[in-house]
Amino acid sequence: MNLQDLIALKEKALNEAQTAADAAALEAVRIAYLGRKGKLPEIMQELRNVSPEERPMFGKTANELKNELTDIIKAKQSSFSDGRAAAAGFDLTQPGQWQGLGTRHPITQITDRITQIFQTLGFTVADGPDVETVWNNFDALNTPADHPSRDEQDTFYLKNGDLMRCHTSPVQVRYMMAHKPPVRIISPGRCYRRDTPDATHSANFHQVEGLFVDEHVSLADLKGTLSYFARELMGPNVKVRFRPHFFPFTEPSVEVDFTCHVCQGKGCRVCKNSGWIEILGAGMVDPNVFSAVGYDSSTLSGFAFGMGIERITMILYGIHDIRNLYENDVRFLSQF
Ligand code: DAH
């Protein structure tokens, strides 16, 4: 091919593009010239064989062919689609319709907020599966064989003997088995219980688990940490109360109440006139749990805690029925 041929080819190509009658014809022109196996790659190959005097002009013309053809094709493509849009009754110059941004689900918002508060204290997020072994969910957590929570009435068992975890506490077990102390983790996640759904119960809900293990960790550390958490979550004026309680996996165990966010502790309908709202369970890790995971309880101590995210979300946002959180009614969700 010499320069003369190329100039003729360019004319032909531009003409074909200009006269293409519809989008399919235009696409055929594009493929014939600009496609991977089209004329243009062929021409570029040809460049080597062109005489040195003609070569600069040949290269320039080839480039013009490419650029001009591309421009024509682009312009025609949009005129074809404009035409189609006009035929279908669309005015492409109209502004688009704003579809609105979604919001994060309230459960996600509160989970993130709780997680962030503990992250500022150096806790890292740990994860565990929803399907657990009986050992991780109960045995390693020092839960006696006849403990009522093991009952089939309360826990979902799978055919293979595993279960749907009924709390996030098994993440403690997994984490300690896989990591050396010190440990500082927070673990949000789904839990499952055989509860009949009503305004305050759901068979599927969320918890956040926390675990701190090191040498010389004391109940004072637990109180300090959870009091800080309370102030960060509820504001600087919240008061915190620790009541003796029992959990198999901690000794001693406590339940932790915050002053009622509605009456600030004066007593109202929401807190049943007590001034307090129960928020979480906690305690010092039981030595039996340390033995189960292979930690030395003669040198180590730690505290753990667990809280229900739905409960806290409902308290903070004044939601009265837990089912609102699962129905995904946009009129409800868009308020948060
Ligand atoms: N697992 C407990 C529950 O589901 C919550 C809990 C209480 C977790 C005390 C803990 C803890 O780690 O120390 O009700």
Find the 328 Cα to ligand 1 centroid distance in Å.
Answer: 28
**Number of domains observed in the structure of the chain:** 2
- 60 within some domain: yes
Does ligand 1 have an atom closer than 6 angstroms to the CB of 250? yes
Q: Are 69 and 174 part of one and the same domain?
A: no
The neighbouring-strand residues paired with 206 are 190
Q: Is 247 in the pocket of ligand 1 (CB under 6 A)?
A: yes
Domain annotation covers residue 93: no
Same domain membership, residue 120 and residue 68: no
Q: Which atom of ligand 1 is nearest to the CA of 207?
A: 4
Position 300 scores a pLDDT of 98
pLDDT in tens, the chain (336 residues): 888 889 999 999 999 999 988 888 899 999 999 999 999 998 888 888 888 888 899 999 999 999 999 999 998 888 887 777 777 887 778 888 888 888 899 999 999 999 999 999 999 999 999 999 999 999 999 999 999 999 888 999 999 999 999 999 999 999 999 999 999 999 999 999 999 999 989 999 999 999 999 999 999 999 999 999 999 999 999 999 999 999 999 999 999 999 998 899 999 988 899 999 999 999 999 999 999 999 999 999 999 999 999 999 999 999 999 999 999 999 999 998
- Tell me, using a 6 A CB cutoff, whether residue 155 lines ligand 1: no
| CB of 283 sitting under 6 A from ligand 1 | yes
- Give the residue from 18, 52, 87 where a domain finishes: 87
| Last residue within a domain, chosen from 58, 87, 116 | 87
184 lines ligand 1 (CB under 6 A): no
- Do residues 288 and 142 lie in contact, with contact meaning Cβ atoms separated by under 8 Å? yes
Q: Which pair of structure tokens corresponds to residue 98?
A: 């704003």
Residues 251 and 313 in one domain: yes
Residue nearest atom 3 of ligand 1, based on CA coordinates:
167
Task: Give the three-state DSSP class for 140.
Answer: helix
Strand partners, 240: 258
Helix residue ranges, H only, the chain? 3-19, 23-34, 39-46, 55-87, 106-119, 134-137, 170-178, 219-234, 287-293, 309-317, 330-333
Span from the CA of 35 to the centroid of ligand 1 (angstroms)? 65
Whole-number Å distance, alpha carbon 173 to ligand 1 midpoint, is 13
**Residue 95 in domain:** no
For position 288, which CATH number holds?
Answer: 3.30.930.10
Domain ranges, residue 74: 3-87
Q: Of 87, 120, 147, which residue is a domain's last?
A: 87
Q: Is 94 within a domain?
A: no
* Same-domain status, 83 and 129: no
